[in-house]
Structures are given as C-alpha cells and as structure tokens.
Amino acid sequence: MAGIPGLFLFLLLLLICAVGQGRPYGAHWKPTWPTYRLPVVLPQSTLSLAKPDFEAEAKLEVSSSCGPQCHKGTPLPTYEEVKQYLSYETLYANGSRTETQVGIYVLSSGRGESSGKSRRKRQIYGYDSRFSIFGKDFLLNYPFSTSVKLSTGCTGTLVAEKHVLTAAHCIHDGKTYVKGTQKLRVGFLKPKFKDGGRRANDSSSAVPEKMKFQWIRVKRTHVPKGWIKGNANDIGMDYDYALLELKKPHKRKFMKIGVSPPSKQLPGGRIHFSGYDNDRPGNLVYRFCDVKDETYDLLYQQCDAQPGASGSGVYVRMWKRQQQKWERKIIGIFSGHQWVDVNGSPQDFNVAVRITPLKYAQICYWIKGNYLDCREG
C-alpha cells in the first residue's frame, strides 16, 4: 500500500470504477450491486482540542443555492484538500474532543453562492406522498426498525451493532456543537403496553397502547472536517454526515452502508428513506421517489420531507451477486433543501449526500477500525 501525492491520486480516486457495472439487458436482468475497487482512508495523527461550548441551536434542515450545475462547474479539490476534508473531529461523552488527520491510499493489487430567494418552509411537492408507518408489526420490523430518533430532533439509521449514521448538521452547525450534543441520546421506538404487559406476543390481556422511545446514550461522535466551517465552508452539503457510537449495542438488525451507484443503475432510478418528520410527531414516515439529478457527492430528488427527517439513511434494494440474494444498503444521508437556478428560473430540490468510495472508506473505518474489513463497498 503506498501513498500517491498530488492531484493525480484524487483524479484516480474519482475515476475508481465499478467492476462489471455496465447495465445488462434482457427480461431476467436484476439491478445488481457493483463491485468497487476502494481506496483506504487511515488516521495519521491525532491531537487534543479544547472542549466545545455546545452553544449552537439545533437546525433540523440546512439549505444551499448551489445546485447540480454549480457543483459540476466547481474545480476539483486537490489531494491535500481532500485529505483535509476527510480529516475529522471526535467528540466524547465527557466533553473532550480530538482532531485526526488522515492519509489516503490505494492498494497495489459547486458551491455556495446565495441566490437571496426565500425558500418554502414545507418541502412537499404537489400531493403529499409520504406514508406514516403504524403498528408494531411494521415499526419493529426491518427495514423500518433501523430508523432512530436523535435527542436533537433529527433522524438516524442503524448501520452496525453500536453505530448510527446521521447528518452532521444534526449535531454540529459548522462552527460548534449544538446544545444537548454532550448528552446526546438515540431513541428506539418500542411498544407501550397497558396493564403492565411486557411483550407483544404475551397471551395476557396486555394491549399496545402506543409506541414510545427507549433511549441509549452516545459514547462518541465523528464529524468530517469538510463539514466544519473555516476548513471547507464553500463545499455546501457534500460532507453533511456524521457517525455516532452508542454506549451499548442496540440488539436490532441494522442496514449496511454501500457505495452509491450512478442513479441510472438504481432500480427504477428511485431511492427510499424513513424519518421522523416534525409535522407528524411520534410517527415514522416513509417515502420513495425518483432521483432528478446527481453530482459526484449529491443526489437531487423531490421526495416529500419535513424538518426532522434530516439524517435519514437513503437506501435501495439490489441483487448481491456473491450471496445470490437481494440486499438493502444505505447509499446516502438525507441532508436538506436547496433552491436551484435552472435555466434562469428557481427550482427546489431535496438533497442527499452520496456515500462515495472515499466516504465509504472513512465511515467503514470509523465502524470497523480495520481497513481490511472495508474492501467491499
């Protein structure tokens, strides 16, 4: 494994290809997960930082006016800039924090001008196509059971036995951590029973009254420096993701992360996600929609969503050739809303951050702690 300096490596990483990702034709074709040649993102040095003040107000959505054409027209960052964006802060439950610089390796085998236009408070496109998920038989079963609520008001997704993927803005406003992050908790919907009943399959007269949240404290959080203003405040939503590590295992089935394929390879060109939209308190809300446009880092779509859904894991279901089975994977994180100037007229989108090969390598390392376990995206 060797480091390759300069813009050459970054261009190489951008062009990392999926083996056999050409779209086959025929009546029996199945949308198949591509096999990627992935880079490696490894910690190089770690230093301690002063404790944050936790004074930022929680924002349940972020907005940007830099749309697809704006992003596509932005010069590529250099290798050194990418290393800086993928470096990260870690916040611990005792309030201490560190900054870790990373290296990017290959195994030898637009952004941000404000349009000044007011944005809609509702992110609903025509008829509201969201579905509230009711009943323990759905809420407690996969994939809906992987959606969790953050105590700061956002949504997250279970991606490992002790890890939750969410949006960075749910815990950090780009300058400092939001109020409540030091005692951050993750909520799991569970049935609340009458008559002291404990289990849904008890033969007693216990009847579910409603669902309630059971909370688990967060042990530490990771936020990429690309999100933190002062380092990369001109790259919009590209790095709006964070990983939370719980203090104890959640004991639920989780959804693995995967590298985001091009939208044309997605089944029906469509994505799915579930979140805790704040206009339907206490309800888990599911939606799906077509991808309208994409850049290397972002997916643009018009899935109906409200604040509170930020941080939801965007997923698709595709065929896993090696295991000969269908599998859902998280390919992005729902971030927020954008007004975009399209041919001189304003158009609005909801935006998801794509899990690129580099982001996959980083997030997977945060989860596994061993790059050898992160070779398949």
Can you give the three-state secondary structure of 267-303, one letter per residue?
HHHEEEEEECCCCCCCCEEEEEEEEEEECCCEEEECC
Residue 293, beta-bridge partner list = 300
**Does pLDDT of 145 surpass 80?**
yes
Mind listing the pLDDT tens digit for each residue in 68-96?
Answer: 777 788 888 889 999 999 999 999 999 99
Name the burial class of residue 31, with classes exposed (0-12), middle (13-18) and buried (19+) by CB atoms within 10 angstroms of its CB.
middle
Residue 311 near residue 154 (C-beta atoms within 8 A):
yes
The reported pLDDT for the residue numbered 21 is 47
68 prior amide bond cis, ω within 30:
no
Strands 325-342 and 313-320: antiparallel
Mind listing the pLDDT tens digit for each residue in 90-116?
Answer: 999 999 999 999 999 987 553 333 333
* Whole-Å CA distances, 193 to 144, 147, 206: 20, 21, 6
Q: Using pLDDT thresholds of 50, 70 and 90, give the confidence band for residue 22.
A: very low
Higher pLDDT, 355 or 211: 355
The reported pLDDT for the residue numbered 204 is 41
Mean of the per-residue pLDDT values for the chain? 80
The 8-class DSSP code of residue 182 comes to: G
> Which residues have a catalytic role annotated?
169, 234, 310
Mind listing the pLDDT tens digit for each residue in 164-173?
Answer: 999 999 999 9
Q: Using pLDDT thresholds of 50, 70 and 90, give the confidence band for residue 252.
A: very high
Higher pLDDT, 87 or 231: 87
Average pLDDT over residues 299-320: 90
Residue type, 304: D
The reported pLDDT for the residue numbered 350 is 85
Q: Using pLDDT thresholds of 50, 70 and 90, give the confidence band for residue 209.
A: low
Q: Using pLDDT thresholds of 50, 70 and 90, give the confidence band for residue 362.
A: very high
Higher pLDDT, 212 or 111: 212
Percentage of the chain beyond pLDDT 90 is 49
Cα gap 210→147, rounded to integer Å: 17
Average pLDDT over residues 14-22: 46
**3-class DSSP state for residue 158?**
strand
Higher pLDDT, 80 or 375: 80
**Which DSSP helix (H) or strand (E) runs through 160?**
none
Average pLDDT over residues 126-139: 57
Q: Which of 24-28, 53-57, 189-193 has the highest average model confidence (pLDDT)? A: 53-57
Higher pLDDT, 348 or 234: 348
Q: Kindly report the number of other CB atoms within 10 A of residue 21's CB atom.
A: 14
The reported pLDDT for the residue numbered 314 is 95
**Does pLDDT of 232 surpass 60?**
no
**Does pLDDT of 230 surpass 70?**
no
The reported pLDDT for the residue numbered 61 is 67
The reported pLDDT for the residue numbered 67 is 73
Q: What is the DSSP string of 97-150?
A: EEEEEEEEEB--------------S-B--SS---EEE-SHHHHTSTTGGGEEEE
Q: What residues contact 26, with CB distance under 8 A and at least 6 apart?
A: none
Average pLDDT over residues 13-35: 60
Higher pLDDT, 66 or 47: 47
**Which DSSP helix (H) or strand (E) runs through 313?**
strand 313-320
